[in-house]
Amino acid sequence: MFTKTQLTQYTTLYRSGKPFKTGAVIVDLESNDFQQNDTIPYFQIEEENNKINFIYKMSKEDVVYGLGETLGALNKRGKIYRFYNTDDPEHTPEKMSLYGSHPFMILDGKNTFGLFIDYPSEIIFDIGFTDKDILKITVPSKDFDLYIFDSDEKLSIIKEYFNLTGKPYIPPKWAFGFQQSRWSYFSEEEVRNVAKKFRETGIPCDVIYTDIDYMDSYKVFTINKDKFPNYEGMVKDLKEMGIKVIPIIDPGVKIEKDYSMYEEGKEKGFFCVDENGNDFVAAVWPGPTHFPNFLNSEVRRWWGKKYKLFTDMGIKGFWNDMNEPSIFYTPKGLDNLIELLKSLEKNKENAGIEVFLARETLLKIANNREDYKSFYHKLDDGSLINHDMVHNLYGFNMTKATADELKELCPNERYLLLSRSSYPGLHRMASIWMGDNKSWWEHMIVNIRMLQSLNMMGFFYTGADVGGFGADSSAELVIRWMELGAFTPFYRNHSALNTRPQEPWQFDEESLNIMRDIVRLRYAFLPYTYSEYMNSVKESVPFVKPLSFVFEGDRVKDIEDQYMYGESLMVAPVYEQNKKGRYLHLPEVKWLNWTASKYEERNMKVYEPGDYYIEADLNEIPLFIKENSLILLSEPMNYVGEKEITELTVIGLVSDHAVYNYYDDDGTTYNFTKGEFGNLIIDITKADNDFKIDVKSYDPVNILKIKKIHFEIYDSDGSVIKKDMIIG
Ligand code: MIG
């Protein structure tokens, strides 16, 4: 039933039937030779009606990694995951689906291999839930591609996956600054005040988001002129302050006569259609809407060009939301609900269980699979396909529309593009945030685990809503989350309508001061963060890695709440309420601990490998620099690029020899692909009671402005030698 083609030394494609071309894979498979092949390595195959099950008996020591945006542990064993993109704002532990589908996993243990299923509708991964030792993957179709990556090295499996689906997206450098959002800032004045407040309080900030209320009646690509009389002026004025504005974009087009998006879409046949060929109706924020048929290339071009409204204002960042697509209700669903309520009314004197059941029915009105089965996409070849069959590709194609046209609208300029929904391959043109989490301590560990799993999928540039989206947050929670967020590539504080505001100044003076220090620390790390990000994309190695991807042994496999941030730094955030520290494990090598609060202050200690309890007050985050590795800092600024970086501080524990490859470029264009970047190779060798420092530079187009490097090099006994070096 399968055909097979070997793609590389490690990667083999097993094809069943005639898979839908999703666009996840960038390798051209057309000219490949496919041979008949009825078995798949490692798996036993079970056919059941229209389903195929892949069954693997796991050994005790097997660990399963991957699956991207999923809940539960980092080791995916012990839970069922269902890939069918859904807008579920209750990220409770039993949930099987979220906004994105990422059916790529690595099994590491007795055998080690990777697996990716390119199939855009429901797939179930039962990883030792139903039967604790059985991995069972169910694909309810005969048409899909299954890739097996046969390597013992987790990192080389990931490399192969990136070869297949593309390298991670590279945002502009300012995307590594701090970002603030709120559902909603309701007016231009409010946005301007938030910007001012950042500058007044001295908290660095690069981006402010405008959520759905900037639109006129939630009509996509419109602006509410009453509330935002001069959106463009606001964008320009904030830009002067170093703050970029990013608007939210929703896919549903309001059904309203004379609204140009609606009229054009209807006239050109650009919307999804129902079984009778009429434009499909589903309600979202604006009330009844039509969904653009993003699976069609002409529709994508049309949609993408609409971002010009904003790019003309100088906007270079977008936030595509609701693109699962989220459905509040369909007319049919609403009718059913009304019928139900009428029947309740008839019996209203005695209603008991009926009311309880009605509650369940009410919840099912949103994001109902039956509704997804009731509309169609017209593809480029004119054929119609049921939405349910390609459901997981909707947000992917909306974002592809955005990314492709942004390249036309702003040639050679990088953009910050977030999508809520995703599918493999989206990572090469944009990224995702983790959706509607809650201001719960429990969601900090979710953030930490998902950060690692998403990085394996190529979503390097990711993070959660810092402080939590839904529910009210305490000052302590926001502070701890601001500390965690400072060490995630995407760093944005965002919160929901009707929740307690959580911008850094919304609490008390002390909390504000702590948060200022944290954000400044984040900016001090910018040279390291950016350099590591760019190097990790270049090398196809996840920017954030579990410890078990770097160190050997069983002990590290259990560690899910510490992670490598770049090659040199291990982060161990405090993520529990009222804690003044935490337990942690330091694998294999010596570590230079910096329990960091202020950029200016050092609080350093050398640790041998082992298990420890580390104290960390509310204003402190435990950081660890790996032995014989270096980190780089610079003076914090109010926003990325405010000042030229002329001085670097290099910190490390060098017991032997350390080399750091510092990378920088213009931060806004793609000129780096033409060799326009700078490198400093910083080489430090220990010599008795001293260090030999050698710095070489590669800087053909004069990117680097570094004049001076301060070295703070620690020895195994904790002593430090400080030296300055003039460069150039
Ligand atoms: O269902 O636009 O995930 O970040 O603030 C709510 C309002 C719709 C969901 C997004 C969230 C955003 C919110 N949106």
The answer, yes or no, to whether any atom of ligand 1 lies below 6 A from the CB of 211, is: yes
Taking Cα atoms as reference points, which of 6, 27, 11, 5 lies closest to residue 160?
11
Instruction: Compute the distance from residue 321 Cα to the ligand 1 centre, in Å.
Output: 7
Mean pLDDT of 323-351: 92
Q: Which residues contact 312 (CB under 8 A, 6 or more apart)?
A: none
Strand partners, 702: none
Checking if the pLDDT of 726 tops 80, the result is yes
The answer, yes or no, to whether any atom of ligand 1 lies below 6 A from the CB of 214, is: no
Instruction: Compute the distance from residue 228 Cα to the ligand 1 centre, in Å.
Output: 20
Q: Residue 310: helix, strand or coil by DSSP? A: helix
The C-alpha atoms of residue 418 and residue 423 are separated, in whole angstroms, by: 13
pLDDT tier, 258 (very low <50, low <70, confident <90, very high otherwise) = very high
Instruction: Compute the distance from residue 512 Cα to the ligand 1 centre, in Å.
Output: 26
Q: Where are the alpha helices (DSSP H) in 8-129?
A: none
Q: Could you report the per-residue pLDDT of 451-463, keeping only the tens digit for each?
A: 999 999 999 999 9
Taking Cα atoms as reference points, which of 412, 310, 312, 313 lies closest to residue 668?
412
Q: Which atom of ligand 1 is nearest to the CA of 319?
A: 4
Instruction: Compute the distance from residue 91 Cα to the ligand 1 centre, in Å.
Output: 14
Checking if the pLDDT of 293 tops 80, the result is yes
Q: Count Cβ atoms within 10 A of the Cβ of residue 280 and give its class: 0-12 exposed, 13-18 middle, 19 or more buried.
A: buried
Write down the catalytic residue from 87, 324, 483, 627. Answer: 324
pTM of the entire predicted model = 0.97
Neighbours of 501 (CB within 10 A): 12
Q: Could you report the per-residue pLDDT of 69-85, keeping only the tens digit for each?
A: 999 999 999 999 999 99
Taking Cα atoms as reference points, which of 623, 611, 616 lies closest to residue 582?
616
Q: Which atom of ligand 1 is nearest to the CA of 436?
A: 3
Strand partners, 279: 273
The C-alpha atoms of residue 301 and residue 40 are separated, in whole angstroms, by: 40
Report the mean per-residue pLDDT for the chain. 97
Q: Which atom of ligand 1 is nearest to the CA of 248?
A: 2
Checking if the pLDDT of 347 tops 90, the result is no
Q: Could you report the per-residue pLDDT of 563-581, keeping only the tens digit for each?
A: 999 999 999 999 999 999 9
Identify whether the C-beta of residue 401 lies closer than 8 Å to the C-beta of residue 308: no
Instruction: Compute the distance from residue 433 Cα to the ligand 1 centre, in Å.
Output: 11
pLDDT computed for residue 1 by the predictor: 85
Neighbours of 22 (CB within 10 A): 19
The DSSP line for 441-481 is THHHHHHHHHHHHHHHTT--S---EET-SBS---HHHHHHH
Is 321 a known active-site residue?
yes
Q: How many separate helices (H) and strands (E) can be counted in the chain?
A: 15, 40
Taking Cα atoms as reference points, which of 214, 219, 411 lies closest to residue 306?
219
Q: Could you report the per-residue pLDDT of 351-380, keeping only the tens digit for each?
A: 888 888 888 888 899 999 999 999 999 999
Checking if the pLDDT of 661 tops 80, the result is yes
**Residue in the block written with tokens 């071309």:** 21
Write down the catalytic residue from 213, 321, 465, 483. Answer: 321
| C-alpha atoms less than 13 angstroms from C-alpha of 386 in its C-beta half-sphere | 10
Neighbours of 167 (CB within 10 A): 18
pLDDT tier, 391 (very low <50, low <70, confident <90, very high otherwise) = very high
Instruction: Compute the distance from residue 664 Cα to the ligand 1 centre, in Å.
Output: 34
pLDDT tier, 400 (very low <50, low <70, confident <90, very high otherwise) = very high
Q: Which residues contact 509 (CB under 8 A, 6 or more apart)?
A: none
Tokens of 48: 């059941």
The residue with greater pLDDT, 49 or 61, is: 61
The DSSP line for 25-57 is --S--TT---EEE--BTTBEEEEETTEEEEEEE
Taking Cα atoms as reference points, which of 500, 717, 496, 400 lies closest to residue 590?
717
Pocket test residue of 213, 321, 432 for ligand 1, highest count of atoms within 8 A of CB? 321
The answer, yes or no, to whether any atom of ligand 1 lies below 6 A from the CB of 435, is: yes
Q: Residue 356: helix, strand or coil by DSSP? A: helix
pLDDT computed for residue 358 by the predictor: 87
Q: Could you report the per-residue pLDDT of 132-168, keeping only the tens digit for each?
A: 999 999 999 999 999 999 999 999 999 999 999 999 9
pLDDT computed for residue 49 by the predictor: 87
Q: Could you report the per-residue pLDDT of 304-327, keeping only the tens digit for each?
A: 999 999 999 999 999 999 999 999
Neighbours of 364 (CB within 10 A): 15
Identify whether the C-beta of residue 73 lies closer than 8 Å to the C-beta of residue 560: yes
Mean pLDDT of 435-443: 98
Strands 287-290 and 282-284 turn out to be: antiparallel
Rg of the chain in Å (alpha carbons): 26
Identify whether the C-beta of residue 228 lies closer than 8 Å to the C-beta of residue 513: no
Pocket test residue of 184, 248, 324 for ligand 1, highest count of atoms within 8 A of CB? 248
Instruction: Compute the distance from residue 210 Cα to the ligand 1 centre, in Å.
Output: 11
Pocket test residue of 90, 211, 419 for ligand 1, highest count of atoms within 8 A of CB? 211
Q: Which residue has its alpha carbon closest to ligand 1 atom 1?
A: 322
**Residue in the block written with tokens 């529709």:** 299
The answer, yes or no, to whether any atom of ligand 1 lies below 6 A from the CB of 203, is: no
Q: Which atom of ligand 1 is nearest to the CA of 465?
A: 4
Q: What percent of the chain has pLDDT over 70?
A: 100
pLDDT computed for residue 689 by the predictor: 87
| Helix (H) / strand (E) containing 720 | strand 720-726
pLDDT computed for residue 350 by the predictor: 84
Helix-helix angle 188-201:231-240, to 10 degrees: 10
Tokens of 248: 């939210």
Is 324 a known active-site residue?
yes
pLDDT computed for residue 370 by the predictor: 96
Q: Residue 712: helix, strand or coil by DSSP? A: strand
Q: What domains can you pick out in the chain, each with its CATH number?
A: 2-165 (2.60.40.1760), 332-363 (no CATH), 531-726 (2.60.40.4040)
Q: Which atom of ligand 1 is nearest to the CA of 212?
A: 2
Is 552 a known active-site residue?
no
The answer, yes or no, to whether any atom of ligand 1 lies below 6 A from the CB of 324, is: no
Length of the chain: 728
The answer to whether the peptide bond before residue 343 is cis (omega within 30 degrees of 0) is: no
Write down the catalytic residue from 388, 436, 561, 567. Answer: 436
Instruction: Compute the distance from residue 298 Cα to the ligand 1 centre, in Å.
Output: 28
Which DSSP category does 667 fall into?
Answer: S
Instruction: Compute the distance from residue 340 Cα to the ligand 1 centre, in Å.
Output: 29
The C-alpha atoms of residue 238 and residue 195 are separated, in whole angstroms, by: 7
Checking if the pLDDT of 728 tops 80, the result is no
Q: Which residue has its alpha carbon closest to ligand 1 atom 11?
A: 436
The answer, yes or no, to whether any atom of ligand 1 lies below 6 A from the CB of 206, is: no
Tokens of 143: 């048409």
pLDDT tier, 48 (very low <50, low <70, confident <90, very high otherwise) = confident
Q: How far apart are the first and last CA of the chain?
A: 65
| C-alpha atoms less than 13 angstroms from C-alpha of 215 in its C-beta half-sphere | 22
Pocket test residue of 90, 182, 323, 436 for ligand 1, highest count of atoms within 8 A of CB? 436
The C-alpha atoms of residue 10 and residue 148 are separated, in whole angstroms, by: 8
